[in-house]
Amino acid sequence: MSHPYAFALLALIALPAHAQHAGHEHSQQPTQTTEADEHADHASHMPKEALPLPDFIRSPTPQDMAAAFPDLHGMDMSDHMVEDPWITTLTVDRLERDLGDDPATGWAVQAWSGKSHNRLWLESEGERDAHGSHGHIRASWGHATGPWWNRMVGWRRDFGGGVQRDWVGVGVHGHAPYKFDVEATAFVGASGRALLEGKASYDVLLTNRLILQPEAGIAIHAKDDAKMGVGQGVSELHGGLRLRYEFRREFAPYIGWRYARSFGNTADMRETEGEAVSEHQWVAGIRFWF
The residues spanned by each domain of the chain are 87-289
Which is it for the CA torsion 260, 264, 269, 274, positive or negative?
Answer: positive
b/e for 18-34, b at 16 or more Cβ within 10 A?
A: eeeeeeeeeeeeeeeee
Any residues with CB less than 8 A from the CB of 182 and at least 6 apart, and which? 172, 173, 174, 175, 176, 198, 199, 200
pLDDT at 46: 52
Alpha carbon distance 119, 104 (integer Å):
32
Question: Which CATH number is associated with domain 87-289?
Answer: 2.40.160.40
Expressed in percent and rounded to 5, the helix, strand and coil fractions of the chain are 20, 50, 30
Any residues with CB less than 8 A from the CB of 184 and at least 6 apart, and which? 171, 172, 196, 197, 198
Alpha carbon distance 118, 153 (integer Å):
12
pTM check: above 0.85: no
Alpha carbon distance 218, 222 (integer Å):
14
State which residues of the chain have pLDDT below 70.
1-51, 72-82
pLDDT at 60: 84
pLDDT at 193: 96
Alpha carbon distance 282, 98 (integer Å):
6
pLDDT at 86: 94
pLDDT at 55: 77
pLDDT at 22: 46
Any residues with CB less than 8 A from the CB of 1 and at least 6 apart, and which? 9
